[in-house]
Amino acid sequence: DAGVIQSPRHEVTEMGQEVTLRCKPISGHDYLFWYRQTMMRGLELLIYFNNNVPIDDSGMPEDRFSAKMPNASFSTLKIQPSEPRDSAVYFCASTVGGRNQPQHFGDGTRLSIL
């Protein structure tokens, strides 16, 4: 079975540009999570969805960040405008049932903002 699929794997862009990261969760999973990983701050939860509805976006750093889940098989994380401090690896994860369940991670998008 296919795991969580993220695209692109790498993104390099100049500050001020709009960046869109994409995620396809595992079929049948009803929870989707977006994380950011940096050396300084470790792995941080940005936002998570249940049945396509955002449940907790308290980790979204600023209004420049937005996330959507238009259907059960697709989610986007958008940064507009991007800044160098947004450089990080962004992970998407999904799970079924939420509590007491393992999360399944994609291989991430390595984002570099110049």
Partner 1 sequence: SQQGEEDPQALSIQEGENATMNCSYKTSINNLQWYRQNSGRGLVHLILIRSNEREKHSGRLRVTLDTSKKSSSLLITASRAADTASYFCATDAGETSGSRLTFGEGTQLTVNP
Q: Which residues bind partner 1 (CB under 8 A)?
A: 4, 31, 33, 42-43, 45, 48, 50, 55-56, 91, 93, 95, 98-108
Q: How far is the CB of 91 from partner 1 (least distance, A)?
A: 6
Q: How far is the CB of 81 from partner 1 (least distance, A)?
A: 27
Minimum CB distance to partner 1 smaller for 50 or for 80:
50
The span from the CA of 103 to the CA of 114, in Å, is 32
The number of helices, as runs of H, and strands, as runs of E, in the chain is 0, 11
Q: DSSP label at 30?
A: -
Q: How far is the CB of 30 from partner 1 (least distance, A)?
A: 10
Minimum CB distance to partner 1 smaller for 12 or for 43:
43
The span from the CA of 23 to the CA of 88, in Å, is 16
Count the Cβ atoms, other than its own, within 10 Å of residue 75: 24
